Structure 1
């Protein structure tokens, strides 16, 4: 009976051998039936060069001296293939031996790319899994091909193709080459909206990030289809409606159709707006003992009768949550209970406070940051490992991270922890360039062509430091500046920084002296709330005025100022060296919706500077400014801007010097040169500076009719008005020295138009101004230009 069983087993092995050789897969039951079993004396390994025979035997389920079945051999083959080390595996029986014959996969000598221009080799190597000195497997190569194709598709090239080729080398090694055919960019031809009544298509196109292809498509990437960007655009549209009263708003669908013949996408958003609501009655309730709803009601930003806004609801929840956490209620949870009334079109809100689930943060995982340090991201969280988990504070941290503008995208999610009451917070980020190159250029009759260029890095060394280097000048002026700021000084939410500068101005037709200034300063910033900040500063500056061909030492000895012809005696009186040492503080309020391209909100700043902390000069200088942005006609893209500013300086026990006064002109009231308004020497025309200035601006920005939006051109009309007046040189004391002043508090005003271009190099602006009211001694300028760029 035993001899018959052995002969039957040998026969089954001989029949199964061809199946092993055909691709290495063994059909179940082809070796021996599950009801039968065989015994082998030894396992022989053949064909291996790099892999040790004992390693291969370890993957075999059958062992010498033990019975084995077809199921065991199937599992053995699968285990060997899953190692990725072998291109082929065959199992046969020779006598009492089980023979395992393998064909090893080659080793990769080098991974190369050909035909790629859009992405560098280093970028593609970061995508593929195959690498030098690794094992070549067909499955991994095919996966790499798909990864490269996905990269190109996300970059808007849907006609790209990739072919993997190998070049055989000695000793079973190969060079792996991915041949890339990039193809043309697949742009977005049209973005359509269906179902929108409250806002026009053009208005909603401005809300989203995706753009339609146009004349400047070769310079930007937002006009290609990206599924992640489309999802982000859906959220932008949703928030836009929810913040403007449309509480029932829904996006029914967002579809991207590819026209392969034209190689373009057509994107269509179908929306259901619902009706517009206002806030109804607002209340706060608490089921947690010890919490006073009346105290929390003061923190609610939503107001009855105002247009419903999900942002106001979220801000109210956040403010109350932070207050409760600081009062010892770490697990308190606030839920808004909405009471819709379609007839009155109001939504009443009751903020219900109850005890939330007791969950703790097990750890915070950060993924995707190759440059930014972990601690730079972690410090934006108000919670840490071991703290009570709070969804509101997580959302707040996500908003803070986005506002840093370090990252292209930020997504914070949660995963279950090791225990039921533990939560893992996962931060997924995608980094983006944080450098900024800005420049400005203009022309004035005083300095001719003038310009400046600055280089700013907002995330220096990935540590969140801000570093700025600036150089400027013209035919008779040169400026140099370096600044450094740590936004989290000593690990706290306090900014600290320093700057050093050097400024050199030579005499010209409208400035009759040379002026050099060298100095530096320290600044500290303390955020009080999300919108309100206090800044403290100290500055020391060495100043030197030199009048050509004028001997200051002779005049100072006898109290006279016999200046060079054409030079104001006030300038001569200011000649010499002086040291100014001052401290200052600023109060800043910032509620802008976007700090780069604001469309709504207020920015206001109040500053006082006190000189006399050592040094040679004593004064108190006060300045203030406020800007208000508001969409006048949202559907038409018309943006309104109102701006007011002013300043005053007074000497502390001494007159205000020429160098400390306010020199105002076209940067304040367009249509005038720099230092074009304010007190002047009546004999020489030299600007003497003002002790007081006030100014206001009203501006409307709008799309230019007939100009394709993708070009990025917009127009603006403006009206500026203000004055700069008062000087200590207008007194009998200085008249006795021969100093006579033209000074008037009359309002200077201008109107004009501007062209704004969101160019590929950054925002550019050209202003054309016509002066309405002025004084005869004012200096006018019709045209100004300036701009900036990011990289």
Structure 2
């Protein structure tokens, strides 16, 4: 199409220059013209004045042939016309033009892998606008780039036009998609501290494996390789390798030219630890010892930019609390090559007096400005802090509401003023999911849910869910406002209703309703407190005639509706990420409930979990300790089945749901009754199996131990509710699939009671620490 356009333009230029050439042999630049009349032919949308302004011809004015030719070139270069002819006829100039047609329809054909909706926001050729061959070529290149981002480097796009009546055209982008170019092998050169397998887990680019038809990460994308360079650098720096460099990242085509071999050449250097830590200042109002106490740096720690940044942020926040504006903390690093340590001097000084003039936010068509501004700890008129701007940019990106979030600063209306520009591009935040499930206990089931992570552009979370199996139906509503009243306070509202009929895990039916508002707020860098109130209604009904007498007695108590309140404290060291190889999670909760029912209770639970990586991050070790208790507040109250704890494979592997704990062995069905107390310990290791990393398969071993005990009513001592110890050992297969991380457990019970019910095999969604 461009070739034909160039051909027409060159012909028009030839005709124009021929018409301008005089009959004499004299050079054309010596020829001059004076036109008393100008006639324009073919113009429909373009005004005559516009054409003459480009041409530069005034009536009666003498113009040289060279100047007239320059005007001709300006008309062609304006992009308004397909062709232009200048025909001097004595003192009359005839200008023949053919305007570019109007775009009637724009379509993309031949695209099977990418939907039209993916192109539409980026195409500049649109209906009811003047067609431009240059813009069409740019649009064709845009479509090619979209395909290349998915690894289809051989994609080709040819723009074509179909002429219609009234000077209109249909624009068609003909696409030849080509095959996806995959990454056949990712390898590394000069890496000694970490294996190829470990480093491949860090990269965004993945090798092609069994699931190459579903996993887009194994497609070769040059931009992703550049990102991987930065990711590798961050990985090594966070582990003390301060001299690390990515020397090169080479990509070679396979012989069949359908895959790439990508090789990263790296220079690791030596691992450094922290040496002497000092805090100094030249500001008389600053107490160096007080600021040093806020430091989290310790001699012997492995160096990481994160721990330095975290300590500086803590010190600068301390300065703000003391009313010391423009205070900056600058780290001075002294390298000790012999001992492989870094001495850190934290210099508390006063920075330049620069004020934030304003924060400009653009690109957020749906998300409200206040949602983005809430991620900034500074406002207009506050002292400018570059580190806080960087951290705010990371918080904006972490929201997950935007595909891109670029935060830059520029000088404001004066040298001591700064404007913060936030350029955003919004991403989809809602999802509607349909799913099915099957289990041996509950049979087939269906799940439908709608989730919106940025409800009405306010940054709120909303989820509506419905689940149904052969014997259970559940409705749930979850709502959360993360910035309640504009503060770092999370307000939540949870409501659910469920019914079970003849459930296999209990020989009675249940109806349960819960309504629970809550708030959560930080009390320290890693600690948070949650407060909640709740209304809870439970009804046990339709017990089987041969059920345990305890179950029958609890069913006879009818529907119980009561209110209560509780609190939760959590400590999560993963919030700061100071140690990339380890993390600690502690959570404790307490509830007072049942007010308005025949059983008022105090319930408490606690969980402590620690995880670390060893053997150059190849093996992940974790330990979890968990326990709980429920205790009546008066001597007359007796807990019910729905109040007590029930252990299953999620807490103690190797045992079925309601497979352990106090059990009525006198009843025909030997019903499981649950317990008022439980304690569980789980030890686990995850390690590679030697299978190529791109398949996402690793192995694990685990050891679980625990007990479930305690009843308020033992039918006169006929039920054994002692704290019998149970334990199991087993192996796991972890598989990272496109539908989520799956886990297959095989368990072997080591210690149990004769009436316990075992569960050797279990397929679950793998939980992440």
**For residues 644-679 of structure 1, what are the alpha-carbon distances to aligned partners after superposition, in whole Å with 9 as ceiling and x for unaligned?**
111122111243411322122222111112222222
Show the counterpart of 2:684. 699
Summarize the alignment of residues 750-765 of structure 1 with structure 2, pairs less than 5 Å apart: 750-765=728-743
**323, 333, 338: which is aligned to 1:338?**
333
**For residues 395-431 of structure 1, what are the alpha-carbon distances to aligned partners after superposition, in whole Å with 9 as ceiling and x for unaligned?**
2123223433444554433344454433343345563
Displacement of 1:443 after TM fit?
4.4
**For residues 252-276 of structure 1, what are the alpha-carbon distances to aligned partners after superposition, in whole Å with 9 as ceiling and x for unaligned?**
2223334484222222222111111
* Mapped partners of 1:30, 1:170: distance in 2: 43
Aligned 8 A contact 2:407 2:420 in 1:
no
Q: CA 1:213/1:462 → structure 2, altered by over 3 Å: closer, same or farther?
A: farther
**751, 765, 769: which is aligned to 2:747?**
769
Show the counterpart of 2:629. 648
Asked if 1:579 corresponds to 2:575, the answer is no
Q: CA 1:53/1:674 → structure 2, altered by over 3 Å: closer, same or farther?
A: same
Q: CA 1:45/1:611 → structure 2, altered by over 3 Å: closer, same or farther?
A: same
Aligned 8 A contact 1:256 1:265 in 2:
yes
* Mapped partners of 1:431, 1:689: distance in 2: 46
Aligned 8 A contact 2:534 2:563 in 1:
yes
Displacement of 1:392 after TM fit?
1.2
Aligned 8 A contact 1:504 1:517 in 2:
yes
Q: CA 1:310/1:285 → structure 2, altered by over 3 Å: closer, same or farther?
A: same
Displacement of 1:525 after TM fit?
1.5
Show the counterpart of 1:672. 655
The SS at the match of 2:624 is strand
Show the counterpart of 1:4. none
* Mapped partners of 1:216, 1:17: distance in 2: 57
Aligned 8 A contact 1:25 1:77 in 2:
no
Question: Larger RCO: Structure 1 or Structure 2 (Cα < 8 Å, ≥ 6 residues apart)?
Answer: 1
Summarize the alignment of residues 443-454 of structure 1 with structure 2, pairs less than 5 Å apart: 443=439
Aligned 8 A contact 2:20 2:88 in 1:
no
Q: CA 1:23/1:699 → structure 2, altered by over 3 Å: closer, same or farther?
A: farther
Show the counterpart of 2:591. 609
Gaps of 5+ in 2: 1-10
Show the counterpart of 2:319. 324
**101, 110, 113: which is aligned to 1:106?**
101
Aligned 8 A contact 2:19 2:88 in 1:
no
The SS at the match of 2:119 is helix
Q: CA 1:449/1:123 → structure 2, altered by over 3 Å: closer, same or farther?
A: closer
Summarize the alignment of residues 79-478 of structure 1 with structure 2, pairs less than 5 Å apart: 79-259=74-254, 261-366=256-361, 372-408=367-403, 410-420=405-415, 421-429=417-425, 431=427, 435=431, 443=439, 456-472=451-467, 474-478=469-473
**For residues 364-423 of structure 1, what are the alpha-carbon distances to aligned partners after superposition, in whole Å with 9 as ceiling and x for unaligned?**
455665654444333222223444332211221232234334445544333444544333
The SS at the match of 1:297 is helix
* Mapped partners of 2:548, 2:96: distance in 1: 101
The SS at the match of 1:235 is helix
Show the counterpart of 1:710. 694
Q: CA 1:645/1:17 → structure 2, altered by over 3 Å: closer, same or farther?
A: closer
**609, 629, 633: which is aligned to 2:611?**
629
Aligned 8 A contact 2:402 2:425 in 1:
yes
Displacement of 1:229 after TM fit?
2.0
Q: CA 1:715/1:41 → structure 2, altered by over 3 Å: closer, same or farther?
A: same
* Mapped partners of 1:55, 1:740: distance in 2: 103
* Mapped partners of 2:516, 2:532: distance in 1: 7
**541, 549, 570: which is aligned to 1:568?**
549
Show the counterpart of 2:703. 719
Displacement of 1:66 after TM fit?
4.9
Q: CA 1:444/1:780 → structure 2, altered by over 3 Å: closer, same or farther?
A: farther
Asked if 1:590 corresponds to 2:572, the answer is yes
Show the counterpart of 2:726. 748
* Mapped partners of 1:157, 1:669: distance in 2: 47
* Mapped partners of 1:183, 1:21: distance in 2: 44
Gaps of 5+ in 1: 1-15, 550-563
Taking structure 1 as the reference length, the TM-score comes to: 0.87
**For residues 515-573 of structure 1, what are the alpha-carbon distances to aligned partners after superposition, in whole Å with 9 as ceiling and x for unaligned?**
21122111211133453221111111111112447xxxxxxxxxxxxxx4443235424
* Mapped partners of 2:751, 2:563: distance in 1: 38
* Mapped partners of 1:47, 1:451: distance in 2: 66
* Mapped partners of 2:27, 2:701: distance in 1: 86
Aligned 8 A contact 1:662 1:691 in 2:
yes
Q: CA 1:25/1:172 → structure 2, altered by over 3 Å: closer, same or farther?
A: farther
**For residues 116-174 of structure 1, what are the alpha-carbon distances to aligned partners after superposition, in whole Å with 9 as ceiling and x for unaligned?**
01211222222221111111122112111211111111110011111111111112111
Show the counterpart of 2:620. 639
Aligned 8 A contact 1:24 1:77 in 2:
no
* Mapped partners of 2:203, 2:472: distance in 1: 43
The number of residue pairs the alignment matches comes to: 746
